[in-house]
């Protein structure tokens, strides 16, 4: 007979999602205003508890869909947070994930239903429990990832200008990039398709639109190519 685990301590397993978005100027994080105690009224990451029939990835996907209505977006497991006193209600371990989405595609009705709001990373309020530490770790991971592969393109519309792309990387890396050097570096990578269309919103002359060429990037990646800025 297989022995049960009844004498062992019972511990809750939570999943918290750090959701990043970009609005053409600034990198933002999606937060919700907590509507129950403890910490009622304070800002929080989107989270929930693992269900019996789920693995961690399934739980993160469910929680993300519940807030954004989106499937098939870039999401990555980040870290497990297990400080004994991290949750004042019960002994709870949280596995954090981060996701990156295009704000333009976001369902604003769902944001309103969950009292959610986009915050610039420079204006994030104090969050509940250890959620600020989760966010800090997610930002560091995002910066590392975007220096070695092009996940940042997930934050842009399908067609974008070089200015939008530079603004994105400046927001992620939190530093100014020289325009000429940036464009030369990106062009040398040969992973974009320059379109005949122009964005006329920024000037009368307009700016050419580009798209990311996934197939071309995949071919280069097999030859140890890395996107590094």
Provide φ and ψ at 227, rounded to 5°: -85, 110
Q: How would residue 189 be classed by pLDDT, with cut points 50, 70 and 90? A: confident
Residue-range domains of the chain with CATH: 12-146 (3.90.79.10), 156-221 (1.10.10.10)
pTM of the complete model: 0.88
pLDDT tens for 51-108 read: 999 999 999 999 888 877 777 788 999 999 999 999 999 999 999 999 998 887 665 5
pLDDT tens for 10-63 read: 899 999 999 999 988 899 999 999 988 999 999 999 999 999 999 999 999 998
The Cα 20–Cα 9 span in angstroms is: 35
- Are 116 and 29 a contacting pair, CB within 8 Å? no
Burial tier of 94 (Cβ tally within 10 Å: 0-12, 13-18, 19+): buried
Closest of 164, 170, 172 to residue 139, by C-alpha: 172
């Amino acid at each position: 007979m297989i022995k049960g685990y009844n004498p062992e301590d019972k511990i809750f397993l939570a999943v918290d999602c750090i959701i990043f978005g970009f609005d053409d100027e600034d990198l933002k994080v999606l937060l919700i205003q907590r509507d129950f105690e403890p910490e009622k009224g304070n800002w929080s990451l989107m989270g929930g508890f693992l269900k019996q029939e789920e693995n961690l990835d399934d739980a993160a996907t469910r929680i993300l869909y519940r807030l954004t209505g989106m499937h098939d977006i870039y999401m990555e497991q980040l870290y497990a947070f297990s400080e004994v006193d991290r949750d004042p209600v019960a002994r709870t371990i949280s596995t954090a994930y981060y996701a990156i989405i295009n704000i333009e595609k976001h369902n604003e009705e769902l944001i309103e239903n969950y009292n959610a709001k986009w915050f610039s990373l420079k204006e994030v309020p104090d969050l509940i429990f250890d959620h600020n530490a989760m966010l800090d770790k997610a930002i560091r991971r995002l910066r590392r990832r975007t220096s070695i592969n092009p996940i940042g393109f997930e934050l842009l519309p399908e067609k974008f200008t070089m200015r939008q792309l530079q603004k994105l990387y400046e927001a992620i890396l939190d530093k100014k990039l020289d325009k000429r050097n940036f464009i030369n570096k990106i062009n040398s990578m040969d992973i974009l398709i320059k379109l005949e269309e122009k964005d006329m919103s920024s000037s009368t002359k307009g700016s050419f639109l580009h798209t990311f060429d996934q197939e071309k990037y995949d071919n280069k990646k097999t030859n140890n190519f890395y996107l590094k800025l």
